[in-house]
Amino acid sequence: MFRCRGGRRPAKAASATIAFACGFNDLSCFNRCFRRRFGLTPTAARGEVRDRAYDASTRGGG
C-alpha cells in the first residue's frame, strides 16, 4: 500500500490507474484497503500532497 500512496506516478494519474498498477483488479477494493491503511481516501491523500506542495512553494521551500 505504501508503494501505491507514494510511488512515482504522474500527479494527475487516475485512482484506477494507480490501483491497477499496484496489483488491484477492483477499484472499490483498492479504495477500501487504502482507507483502512492510511485513514483517508486516495482522493483525500492526493489533496494533502497537493496542499503540502502548495504550502512549500508559497514559502519558498519547493
Beta-carbon contacts of 6 under 8 Å, excluding residues fewer than 6 positions away, are: none
* Confidence (pLDDT) at 39: 93
Amino acid at 57: S
Task: Using a pLDDT cut of 90, give the percent of the chain over it.
Answer: 29
Tally Cβ neighbours within 10 Å of residue 16. 14
Q: Are 22 and 30 in contact (CB under 8 A)?
A: yes
Chain segment 15-34, per-residue pLDDT in tens: 888 889 889 999 999 999 99
Give the pTM: 0.67
Tally Cβ neighbours within 10 Å of residue 42. 20
Q: For domain 2-58, is the CATH number 3.40.50? A: no
**Residue 54 pLDDT class (50, 70, 90 cuts):** low
Cell numbers given for 29:
477494493
Chain segment 32-42, per-residue pLDDT in tens: 999 999 999 98
Q: What is the domain partition of the chain in residue ranges? A: 2-58
